[in-house]
Amino acid sequence: MIEDALFTYCVDHTDKEDAVLENIARQTHLKVLKPRMISGPVQGKFLELQTKMLKPRLVLEIGTFTGYAAVCMARGLDDMGRLITLDINDELEEMVRGFFGSSGVGHKIDYRIGNALKLIPKITGNFDMVFIDADKINYSRYYDLVIDRLNPGGIIFADNILWSGKVLESHRKKLDKDTAAILAFNRKVQNDHRVENVILPIRDGIMMARKRT
């Protein structure tokens, strides 16, 4: 959402990826369709720092992709914290488990394959932090599944909330289903008195919603 030169400046002034994250990014770009879906160094470091500040006991990630964000968040967890990450794509499972195994934080990550709409109700316990980064059509359904199980003071992050600018009518030719879903999600959060929220223009936009205490 910002010009390439400014984003490069942001990357250059963010902690550098180590060998683990560099390898995840490289292998994703070499072997996986739509590699731009990876979180990358700026968003990854943002999530890691947020995790360190929040000190959550249970984090839920909806949409693992190749595991970059999961590794970043797991690095932010203390010894008591754990991350459950869900993804429907079993074709990436072997690769992702390999990344987790070599990350040094794999013991904090519980990686589950399946439909998140069915998996979430089976998880025991309440969440301190949730990161939604899956199919846009179901963003509002994911939110409804987790908001009542989010502890007071807990945070929900949702990615791609600006949707390449298509949340603005002037930036789209027509209103497709994904854009309509993002717009509906943004309205839902904005009108939910249970949370206080802000949209951060990081990459493709991150909604940050804190459950009121």
Which three-class secondary structure state does DSSP give residue 112? Answer: strand
Residue boundaries of the structural domains of the chain: 4-211
What is the C-alpha to C-alpha distance for residues 183 and 33, in angstroms, rounded to an integer?
Answer: 26
The whole model's pTM is what?
Answer: 0.96
pLDDT digits (tens, 9 = 90+) for 72-117: 999 999 999 999 999 999 999 999 999 999 999 999 999 999 999 9
pLDDT digits (tens, 9 = 90+) for 157-201: 999 999 999 999 999 989 999 999 999 999 999 999 999 999 999
Task: Go through 81-110 and write b for each residue having 16 or more CB atoms within 10 A of its CB, e for each that does not.
Answer: bbbbbbbbeeebeebbeebbeebebbebbb
State which fold the 4-211 domain adopts.
Rossmann fold (3.40.50)
